[in-house]
């Protein structure tokens, strides 16, 4: 895990020994459980460090997340939420995923890594975004999911409070996808703010953070019923 510390320094991110130990625990358990369930196609240690851990925590260079209320939507194996929580333990984190097996895995990771103030939710974003306990309750909604930005905007913006932000982790070239998502962003109460691009250390992989600010309350009809946002984007 010293490689993680070395690469993080290229992002001006400091990782202490205790945090490094938690990343090690997370990595070992991820690989162990990946043998019996589909968590990640990336398993070689340095690739996990770069493509999962570093990619997840790079966000701290662009926003102040300390003590913020954050939801990671479609978190999968816990990215970006778990690495961000390890690095910034004072965030209030919610992890949402539609597969119960992944939520069980995340509960075990949280316990093994001794992470506090983390809530896991088994369910779909389309459903929980209409729940008053979650709707417009978060400073930041994050997603590293592979869905198109129009669909993700409908899933994620409803969770964000006014002046909060939906931040989408994407590949470097996002212009066309961003243009196609403008209607969805507008209808859900968001406004495109900026794109921040960067390269992952020791690679030629370009990544982007898409920042969408919440400027007005999301209309009651959004998100639409389960399955519709992905089949028929706004």
- In order, the DSSP letters of 114-161 are T--SEEEEES-HHHHTTSTTTTT-EEEEEE--SS-HHHHHHHHGGGEE
CA max distance for the chain: 48
Domain-by-domain residue ranges, the chain? 2-231
| 63: CB partners within 8 A, 6+ apart | 140, 165, 167
Q: Kindly state the percentage of the chain with pLDDT values over 70.
A: 100
Residue 157's pLDDT is what? 98
Confidence of residue 146 (pLDDT cuts 50, 70, 90): confident
Whether the pLDDT of residue 1 is over 90: the answer is no
Q: Taking the model in full, what pTM does it have?
A: 0.95
Whether the predicted pLDDT of 174 surpasses 90: no
Mean pLDDT of 27-34: 97
pLDDT band at 147 (very low <50, low <70, confident <90, very high): confident
Is 3.40.50.200 the CATH classification of the domain at 2-231? Answer: no
């Amino acid at each position: 895990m010293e490689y993680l510390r070395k690469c993080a320094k290229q992002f001006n991110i400091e990782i202490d020994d205790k945090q490094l130990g938690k990343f090690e625990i997370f990595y070992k358990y991820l690989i162990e459980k990946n043998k019996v369930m589909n968590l990640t196609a990336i398993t070689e240690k340095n690739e996990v460090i770069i493509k999962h851990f570093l990619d997840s925590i790079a966000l701290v260079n662009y926003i102040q997340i300390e003590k913020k209320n954050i939801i990671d939507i479609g978190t999968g194996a816990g990215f970006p939420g778990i690495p961000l929580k390890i690095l910034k333990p004072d965030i209030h984190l919610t992890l949402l995923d539609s597969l119960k097996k992944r939520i069980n895995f995340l509960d075990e990771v949280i316990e093994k890594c001794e992470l506090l103030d983390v809530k896991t939710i088994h369910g779909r974003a389309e459903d929980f975004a209409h729940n008053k306990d979650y709707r417009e309750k978060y400073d930041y909604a994050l997603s590293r999911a592979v869905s198109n930005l129009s669909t993700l905007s409908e899933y994620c913006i409803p969770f964000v409070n006014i002046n909060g932000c939906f931040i989408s982790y994407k590949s470097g070239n996002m212009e066309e996808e961003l243009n196609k998502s403008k209607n969805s962003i507008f209808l859900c109460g968001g406004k495109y703010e900026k794109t921040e691009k960067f390269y992952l250390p020791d690679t030629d992989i370009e990544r982007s953070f898409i920042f969408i600010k919440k400027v007005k309350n999301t209309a009651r009809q959004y998100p639409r019923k389960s399955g519709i946002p992905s089949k028929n984007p706004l």
